[in-house]
Structure 1
Amino acid sequence: MEGRYSLVEAVRTRLADEQGTLRKEAPYRVALCYPSPYHVGMSSLGYQTIYREIHLHPGATAERVFLPDDVEVYRRTRTPLFTYETEAPVSGLPMLAFSVAYELELTGLFSMLELAQVPLLKEERSERHPLIVAGGPLTFSNPDPLEPFVDVLLQGEAEELIHTLLDAAMTMDREALLAHLAGLPGFRVPGRGGKRYFVAKALDERLPARSQIITPHTELRSMFLIEPERGCSRGCHYCVMRRTTNGGMRTVPPERVLSLIPEHARRVGLVGAAVTDHPRIVELLRTLVDAGREVGVSSLRADRLTQELVDTLRRGGATNLTVAADGASQRMRDLVDRKHSEEQIVRAATFARTAGMRQLKVYNVVGLPYEEDADIDELIRFTAELSRIIPVALGVAPFVAKRNTPLDGAPFAGIREVEGKLERLRRGLKGRAEVRPTSARWAWVEYMLAQCGPEAGLAAMDAWKAGAGFAAFKKAFDARGCVPYLARRVEDGRRNPTVWPSVPQAAPAAL
């Protein structure tokens, strides 16, 4: 059929534009799946790292699979989901390994399993179906909603875990494999065991993670990604990558970073939770820019910026400077231990203007515990002051409490409440700064998935079957009896000392 042919041709076109694609004949083939489209998945440093690690295993090869750009075309043409490297039907490979970045990618996982003609629920699969494995950033917080659908969870940094998994999968039948993995650190086998909320740590010699493939068809067009540091030395209460998560920040010497960047890579992205906390970051940036490369940095901390650093970024092609405040007011920033002051952010704006940049992007969060209208008004006042220095784009996300953080269990502020705060920001900054909010409704869906257990995964499946709209999610959460972590642990309205002591212990607002 013409439809199937065009789908295959689209994949071949993307492959022709790639640099660094790996191809290998091996006895064990892994379908490495990303539950978002190609342009998102190929921008994931973790996904690309595991792709390379599988190929480094002597007996295994990885074939990439992505959520199609248009799932309906696959359904309409009855095209089975196929791999990029060999165009083989996914259902014929022995293992499907999903890298899941965050909660809302669950529906992408469902669509990929459907298109692969694999039953969604693990209890409905047999030995003839592929082993379904999941890992990725979501496992740093709450992978519980994945449990009904996967045979094995890899929790945390997977550079070593993937080799352990492959060694066992190639030598054991499924029953023996699952029993074996349930007893190993870093693995959770739903229904059989494994330590919950364990975050594995890769050996330092495995660092840094880096791109294997460079392609123009990504969010970060033709950019080689590499991490000069892993983890974070800071303790922001909302962050799953805070210093206590996995041993703090581990830095990679600039000499090693530079040695791993291909000569043909003219655009380089330095990726990490706190790149500008690297003690030699200016030296690294200067070396890259002096070599004629464009450079981007994923995480700029206002308190670490200098005029030299910002000037170097500008020479490297940056036209905007992006920082995160993550608290509508100084009171809110202090509450979540976000060590930034207005003075530091003003200084960042001045650095950006002096360097000749066009815009300052400031990311912020609303809906934190104890937040009041006065805090939102402080954000309006401060953003207006920044806009007198340089044009400002204010990115605003509703606060979503994550597991394995000090704010675990904090209630969602409520959809109407958050929408009211966003409207207050829009009115207050109209004509003075651009406000770019994310959806309060979908933040609530993310919150429910982040704070509930396996039943929330089943609810997400129900919602996906019903069209995956917001109303479908709300109905499914109600029908499945999904109750967030906080509400399950509140007794008679008394404070539970195991939950962050500054969070009010009241049932979370939903709407």
Structure 2
Amino acid sequence: MVLADLVSWRQIEQAKALISQEQGTFIKDPGGRVSVALVYPNRYHIGMSNLGFQTIYALLNSREDVVCERVFIPDRPLLPQESIISLETQRMLHEFDLIAFSVSYENDYLNILKVLDLASVPLEARERTDNDPLVVIGGACAGFNAEPLANFADLFVVGEGERVVHELIDHYIAWRRSESGREELLKVLAGREGFYVPRFYQIVYHDNGSIAGIEAAEGVLPRVSQALIPDLDAYETTTCVVTQNTEFGDMFLIEISRGCRRSCAFCLMTNLYKPYRTRSPQALLPSIRRGLSFRQRIGLISASATDHPQILEICSQILAEGGKVSVSSLRAESITPQFLDCLAASGHKTITLAPEAGSERLRRYLGKAMSDELIFDRLRQIIAHGIPNLKLYFMIGLPSETEADVEAIVSLVKKIRHTALQATRDKLSLGRITVNLSCFVPKPLSRFERCPMEQVEVLQSKLKFLAGRLNKVDNVQVLTDVPKWAFIQALLARGDRRVGEILKQAHIQGGNWRRAFQCVNLNPHFYATRQRGEQEILPWDVIRR
């Protein structure tokens, strides 16, 4: 047995081991069906926590004429002789009709190129022939700025995949029967809502590097329209495949709302998924009952669970069915004693709040009208309900941030600890306060989309100061961002189509971004740390909002 055969056998055994611990897996005979390799460009443990990824997997496999199999980045590096394979039947990716990526984070972009390389599929769309798989990219990143990935995708799904996934397959089947070239399929899709075909849009640049115009080819939409679901109750967004081998393996996830009704200046959620929509308790009840047949705990997915107008009814349904409730981040101003009763009854021991800034002035500027006293009041209520641990999220490098604002983070954390100590004295031991410090990255579609990112050296200095001060506080654990990776995130979030050259070079250089910058005649600071003019055309303006 040659080495390549041995390693491939290990890949197959690992895939079978993962599947053996799953419930809800689809395994179909590919014969006569459209085959889709659905790729989450990260490891299994992370990808299987993504509800959007699981939802598209279920929708595609609900069709008799489609077989959809999942693909993840391997847990261990592959040898040069190896090819990446699908999970369900361990097929090589170049054998599939479509390779569809679900992309939620900029830092996964390199993995897209890695997967294509391992699959022996040409990296750039212009290099592919009709015999290669059609490469489709969807997910949040395709919705807010597809341009850095434009050279690598034949097609983007822009918006909510549930709305257009069946239309994509129907057009693909019709095209395959027609025996025409791939260009014809892409032209048809480019005229439809929710699809973006970069090859039909030419970007024109000024001499200073900014965008002068976006020119659409004849017969396609002048600007791409986002596909949105008007009624969330018409679709179920829940865990499809249940497994312990994931970040939320002990719970069944259910999306209860999409978008956000707040308008925080740094966040893209409001505009990316507007309007804010919710699922009704009546529509959620069958999902809750099905979820409780797999897990005792139901994880409610939303930007903020307490913003749902019927959150108490939803939680009561779960408790009445014998289940327990889990939520992610909460808005302090919308926390009520009744909601805390539900969390306490579910055995919650930790609650996450995101003040984002240490001073009230900066929080008001961000659109988070959360006073210090409100935070202290909610903390007393949380502790009174037997929930001792607190996670806090702050950002540094925000627009208008002063030295006093940075110091205010230390002051606020100390006051929070003091409030917690007073509330827990003679009742229960003081819980753990975990402080997460991240770097502000200006994101497309947010009110700060034209703002510059702060220089990496300045961010490092601020993080060093905060960690040094907060690590001296008892019962406080500090977790800090890595500014150089936040810089890469800003480059990819705000980049235009030319940034794809940097991305490709970073892939060639094995993930060494410094070498990639040296190899490409583009200044990354032009994208990450430059203030954009008010009249400047932005890369993501190709999509109509």
Please give the TM-score of this superposition, normalised by the length of structure 1: 0.91
AA aligned opposite 2:348: A
Distance 1:98 1:197, change over 3 A: same
Structure 1 residue 479 corresponds to structure 2 residue 521: yes
* Matching residue within 378, 392, 397 for 1:362: 392
* Matching residue within 1, 9, 31 for 2:13: 9
- Whole-angstrom CA distance in 2 between matches of 1:203 and 1:251: 10
Larger strand proportion of the pair: 2
Deviations 1:150-209 (A, max 9, x none): 000001111021111111111114121101011111111011145656432024143341
- Whole-angstrom CA distance in 1 between matches of 2:104 and 2:93: 21
Q: Which runs of 5+ in 2 are unaligned?
A: 202-220, 421-430, 539-545
1:224 counterpart residue number:
252
Distance 1:177 1:131, change over 3 A: same
Q: Which runs of 5+ in 1 are unaligned?
A: 491-495, 501-511
Q: Which moved more, 1:189-198 or 1:43-52?
A: 189-198
- Whole-angstrom CA distance in 2 between matches of 1:488 and 1:437: 25
* Cα pair 2:301 2:328 within 8 Å, conserved: yes
Deviations 1:61-111 (A, max 9, x none): 2111111112x2x224x2211111111111101100000101111111111
- Whole-angstrom CA distance in 2 between matches of 1:333 and 1:498: 28
Larger radius of gyration: 2
- Whole-angstrom CA distance in 1 between matches of 2:300 and 2:316: 13
1:119 counterpart residue number:
122
Structure 1 residue 405 corresponds to structure 2 residue 446: yes
SS of residue paired to 1:396 = strand
Distance 1:165 1:114, change over 3 A: same
2:133 counterpart residue number:
130
Matched-pair identity in %: 31
2:503 counterpart residue number:
460
2:434 counterpart residue number:
393
- 5 Å-filtered alignment, 1:416-455, equals 416-432=457-473, 433-455=476-498
Shift of 1:499: 9.8
* Cα pair 2:258 2:273 within 8 Å, conserved: no
2:83 counterpart residue number:
80
Tell me: higher relative CO, structure 1 or 2? Use CA pairs within 8 A at least 6 residues apart.
2
- Whole-angstrom CA distance in 1 between matches of 2:531 and 2:372: 38
* Cα pair 2:267 2:446 within 8 Å, conserved: yes
- Whole-angstrom CA distance in 2 between matches of 1:239 and 1:419: 22
- Whole-angstrom CA distance in 2 between matches of 1:59 and 1:295: 37
AA aligned opposite 1:462: Q
2:369 counterpart residue number:
339
Distance 1:195 1:434, change over 3 A: farther
AA aligned opposite 2:386: G
* Matching residue within 21, 24, 29 for 2:25: 21
* Matching residue within 71, 74, 77 for 1:68: 74
- Whole-angstrom CA distance in 1 between matches of 2:517 and 2:345: 48
- Whole-angstrom CA distance in 2 between matches of 1:296 and 1:465: 42
1:146 counterpart residue number:
149
* Root-mean-square deviation (Å): 2.1
Structure 1 residue 257 corresponds to structure 2 residue 284: yes
* Cα pair 2:344 2:386 within 8 Å, conserved: yes
1:503 counterpart residue number:
none
- Whole-angstrom CA distance in 2 between matches of 1:75 and 1:198: 42
* Cα pair 1:380 1:428 within 8 Å, conserved: yes
Shift of 1:3: 2.1
Distance 1:470 1:387, change over 3 A: farther
- Whole-angstrom CA distance in 2 between matches of 1:82 and 1:165: 24
Shift of 1:481: 4.3
SS of residue paired to 2:18 = helix
Report how many residues are paired.
Answer: 490
